[in-house]
Chains A and B, each alone.
Chain A
């Protein structure tokens, strides 16, 4: 909407500026090259202290483990996110909640799977992603009956509308848990996409592109992961989100695909995906997952080119996550003395 520029700053100007301030704290190429040259994790800690991270590891006793680094970095992201969310007003609050729902879905599935295998509830709760915590998560551990799990516990959560498609009375085994996860995620993605398009203006444009890619990525991953399992083509077709750059023609072709070549052919109709698959085919160093991460980073980077929209918040969260993955990769390479592969992180800026 043309009026966006004039009225956006009334409610969200401060928050957008703060979010852009956080974005400027992301590590750049100099920081990465400094960290790559470290010999041990203590050096990494010192290098990180010079960046926006500051003293986040100062309370840890040496020797530091890579899991600690990952945990503390994620804590920092969660702190920044919660600060932004607590100060936001509607509809930005709703938008930020949508970002949290994907982590909530992951947490719910984690807890259900863990309960199925009789794991300790406290251990499970510690493994949950902090952005996806909600009140009744703990009581999920206590429930033993499976399909009533959904009716009793999850009906009060924000995820309730997504469960109507996922509730079945079938036994919960490994395959069904994955199907439930993907059905939930499909409902969530479509809901998020509808919300963003309803907002109109630059938000719809930026988030539309990002979410379409996310939908396509899920579709491709579901298809590839379903090769060699008992999942029928019809069941698979029900899990694919009904929007995206590949929708509808590419998706119909994906539904028919039988192997990796079939997936590649289905994605030929969209230029950027053709390039991704071209990269993946010839060099064995880069996996499809890495190529997707790169594409995602490029899209999220573009979100910052426009002002007066909500895409910057989403993009910041995703880029920060990628940065945490990068740092952990570099830390692991240093710890395991595999310096040759250390440059395989994905640079952000």
Chain B
């Protein structure tokens, strides 16, 4: 167990999963977190947009008046992707380019590095997954919104309220992500 900086375990082979996981560099954890933040968020946003867009296009054939109003659903889905971009940028500035002394860290920097690496990874996952669910949710509700609006214009605002609650889910992920990574940094803060 414990972090072996000299990489001599490569020839011995790992005995436990714990050793393997600990030996993964915190830089790797952090950057995977950043990619999860933006990648999975965009997946959710894109999913939402195609779900709502296909219904919108079809319903607008017989009810052209719904075209402009229902673009709001698409905008809500897009907002999910923007949350992902913002978090990815914030996390990237924390993960950034570590100063030279941290490239081969001494013992006093190990825990700080590990903590930051894991923190940024988890924050990226939190943001990515919550935005994935949020995007899909807003997309499905947006599809129903377009179809209902085509039948009965009074329903649009009411279903929009459901969408607003749905899009709050992505915001939760962003907030938690920011709080989690408040203490994370790869810069030398001694």
Residue in B closest to A18 when the chains form the complex, CB atoms: B58
B93 at the interface (CB under 8 A from A): no
Give the interface segment out of B81-89, B139-147, B176-184. B139-147
Q: Which of A305-348 contact B (CB under 8 A)?
A: 307
* Cross-interface CB contact of A15 among B58, B63, B146, cutoff 8 Å: B58
Residue numbers in B under 8 Å from A9 (CB-CB): 50-51, 54-55, 143
A6 contacts the other chain (Cβ, under 8 Å)?
yes
Q: Are A13 and B151 in contact (CB under 8 A)?
A: no
**CB nearest to B62 among chain A residues:** A21
Q: Which of B119-167 contact A (CB under 8 A)?
A: 136, 140, 143-144, 146-147, 150-151
Quick check: is B61 within 8 A (CB to CB) of the other chain?
Answer: yes
**Contact status of A17 and B144, CB under 8 A, knowing A9-B50, A24-B150:** no
**Of A10, A13, A14, A24, which one neighbours B63 at CB under 8 angstroms?**
A24
A14 interface neighbour in B55, B150, B151, Cβ under 8 Å: B55
Residues of B within 8 A of A25 (CB): 62
A1-31 CB contact bits vs B (8 Å, 1 = yes)?
0000110011001111110111011000000
Is B56 at the interface (CB under 8 A from chain A)?
A: yes
Partner of B55, one of A17, A22, A24: A17
- Complex CA distance for A7 and B31, rounded to whole angstroms: 31
Within 8 Å of chain A (Cβ to Cβ): is B57?
yes
Chain A contact surface mostly: helix
> A17 touching B54 by the CB < 8 A rule?
yes
Mark interface residues in A271-315 (1 if CB within 8 Å of B CB, else 0): 000000000000000000000000000000000000100000000
CB distance from B54 to the nearest CB of A (A): 3
Contact between A22 and B62, CB atoms less than 8 A apart: yes
Contact status A20-B51, CB under 8 Å = no
Find the B residue at minimum CB distance from A13.
Answer: B54
Which residues of A are found within 8 Å of B62, using beta-carbon distances?
18, 21-22, 24-25
> For the complex, what is the distance from the CA of A18 to the CA of B56, rounded to whole Å?
10
A61 CA / B146 CA spacing, docked (Å) = 41
A21 near B54: Cβ-Cβ < 8 Å: no
Q: Find chain B residues with CB under 8 A from A20 CB.
A: 58-59, 147, 150-151
> In the assembled complex, which residues on chain A have CB atoms less than 8 Å from the CB atom of B140?
5-6
B76 proximal to A (CB < 8 A): no
Give complex CA distance A54, B143 in Å: 29
Q: Other than A20-B58, A20-B151, give 19 A-B pairs with Cβ distance below 8 A.
A: A5-B140, A6-B140, A9-B54, A10-B50, A13-B58, A14-B57, A16-B55, A16-B147, A17-B55, A17-B59, A17-B61, A17-B147, A20-B59, A20-B147, A21-B59, A21-B61, A21-B62, A24-B63, A25-B62
- Which 7 A-B pairs have CB atoms at the shortest separation, nearest pair first? A17-B58, A21-B62, A13-B54, A14-B58, A17-B59, A9-B51, A18-B58
A: which residues have CB within 8 A of B? 5-6, 9-10, 13-18, 20-22, 24-25, 307
